[in-house]
Amino acid sequence: MLRARMSWGERVFYWVVILGLLFALLVFRKTTLPVAVFVDGKPVAWLSNSRLAQQAIQLAREKMRKLHGQEVDFTETVDTGNLPLPSGRNLSSPAEAAESLLAVVSPAQRAWVIKVADQTVAALSRKEEAEQALELVKAHFTPHNVTLVKPPRFKEKVVVQRGKVAVGEVVADAETAAQKLISGLEPPQYHIVKPGEIAIRIARKYGLTLDELKQLNPDKNLDRLKVGDRLLIKRGKPVVTVICIYQVVRQEPVPFKVERRFAPSLPGGALVTKQRGRKGLKEVVYEVVAENGLEVHRKVVREKILREPVNEVILVGGGLH
């Protein structure tokens, strides 16, 4: 007579056997399936085993490097995996698979790439050149003759790392890469000062106020322009944003107060200036935050009185007429 139920130990044993058989079946199926070569996830050739597939990839890589140099690799992602052979397709030899692979891939050069917000914007052959390019960009947007509070930094995520770019995209030097970052989206526009031109007329010509022109050219004395001076009249659209925090020192007037004193000896309603007022002078230290040379915020961090103001004293008559 059969038992109605299996014991707990028997159940575990049967499940172990079943799972083992399923695993063995999967392993067997995988070892009997052909191996496909994929380019960006799409199969381009099938070979009988993984060794031949890797051989095909290596053959394709060697042929590409003979044409474009040893630093070249595939632009696309190339990998392998087991995949059933489609109906009507035949297994390829390594040489045939290599040709199929070369027909759909493009050559990429190994280089040091500058990435801004995960997008490649420039590439150089050496890491030192890429880092120098970033320093040149920072220097370009850092005002002259100011005291930096902190080293300039990028607003975006900017990294230098080893990567692949299309053949021919590696620039010659750090200066070229820096210029690509500075004027990558839209180059800046300049005006060359001609004989007889003054700042206010130049500003009006381009629809600017005098203050806007001063802000665009903080290192220029607009009251003493010279023929041939180069004035920025429209900012470009750089690929990056350089944030600078610096201090500037300004001397500013301190207004005087007007003090009125009643004078009964003077006729009623009469006003007599007993002491003329004189403005004082103070030194103000501002902390300025600028983005790509354009001031976005400032605050006072320190003030010092250099000359006290002198109050103006006015006598107000209160006597009889």
Write the CATH number for 200. 3.10.350.10
Q: What per-residue confidence (pLDDT) applies to 1?
A: 43
Residue 152 falls within a domain, yes or no? yes
Residue 2 falls within a domain, yes or no? no
Q: Stretch 128-132: mean pLDDT, rounded?
A: 96
Q: What per-residue confidence (pLDDT) applies to 310?
A: 96
Average pLDDT, the chain: 88
Return the H-helix or E-strand segment holding 315.
Answer: strand 312-319
- Residue at which a domain ends, from 105, 136, 160: 105
Give burial (CB, 10 Å; 0-12/13-18/19+) of 129. buried
- Residue at which a domain ends, from 185, 217, 251: 185
Summarize pLDDT for 2-43 with one digit per residue, the tens: 455 667 777 777 777 777 767 655 554 544 689 999 999 999
| 187 has pLDDT over 80 | no
Q: What per-residue confidence (pLDDT) applies to 238?
A: 86
Q: For residue 320, what pLDDT band results from cuts at 50, 70 and 90? A: low
Residue 16 falls within a domain, yes or no? no
Residue 259 falls within a domain, yes or no? yes
What total of structural domains would you count in the chain? 4
| 286 has pLDDT over 90 | yes
Residue type, 70: Q
What is the pTM (predicted TM-score) of this model? 0.61
* Shared-domain flag, residues 31 and 96: yes
Smallest CA-to-CA distance from 216 within 297, 140, 295 is with: 295
Cβ-proximal residues to 41 (8 Å cutoff; 6+ apart), any chain: 77
Summarize pLDDT for 230-281 with one digit per residue, the tens: 998 887 778 899 999 999 999 999 999 999 999 888 888 899 999 999 999 9
Alpha helices in the chain (DSSP H): 8-32, 50-68, 94-102, 127-140, 174-182, 199-205, 210-216
* Shared-domain flag, residues 70 and 95: yes
Q: How far apart are CA 268 and CA 276, in angstroms?
A: 21
Residue 3 falls within a domain, yes or no? no
Domain range for 222: 189-234
* Shared-domain flag, residues 125 and 170: yes
* Shared-domain flag, residues 213 and 181: no
Residue 58 falls within a domain, yes or no? yes
Summarize pLDDT for 136-165 with one digit per residue, the tens: 999 999 988 889 999 999 999 999 999 888
- Categorise residue 243: left if φ over 0, alpha if ψ from -120 to 50, beta otherwise: beta
* Shared-domain flag, residues 178 and 226: no
Residue type, 74: F
Summarize pLDDT for 32-82 with one digit per residue, the tens: 689 999 999 999 999 999 999 999 999 999 999 998 888 788 988 999 999
* Shared-domain flag, residues 282 and 212: no
CATH number where 265 lies? 2.20.230.10
Residue 204 falls within a domain, yes or no? yes
- Residue at which a domain ends, from 46, 71, 105: 105
Smallest CA-to-CA distance from 281 within 248, 298, 259, 303 is with: 303
* Shared-domain flag, residues 251 and 230: no
Residue 121 falls within a domain, yes or no? yes
